[in-house]
Amino acid sequence: MTTAAMQPVWAYDALRGAVAKLQFVRNSLPKVIDEFHEDGLLLVILDVEKTVTEARKALTCFAPEAAEMFMRGEVYTYPERDVE
Q: Where are the domains of the chain?
A: 7-71
Residue 2 clears pLDDT 60, i.e. is over it: no
pLDDT at 65: 74
Residue 19 clears pLDDT 60, i.e. is over it: yes
pTM of the model: 0.49
Listed in sequence order, the DSSP H helices in 1-84 are 7-27, 29-35, 38-62, 64-71
Residue 76 clears pLDDT 50, i.e. is over it: no
Distance from the Cα of residue 22 to its chain's centroid: 7
Mean pLDDT of 39-64: 74
45 vs 76: CA distance, rounded Å: 25
pLDDT at 10: 67
Give whole-number Cα distances, 47 to 41, 43, 57, 59, 65, in Å.
10, 6, 15, 18, 25
13 vs 55: CA distance, rounded Å: 9
Dihedral of alpha carbons 66, 71, 76, 79, sign: positive
Higher pLDDT among residues 56 and 82, named by residue: 56
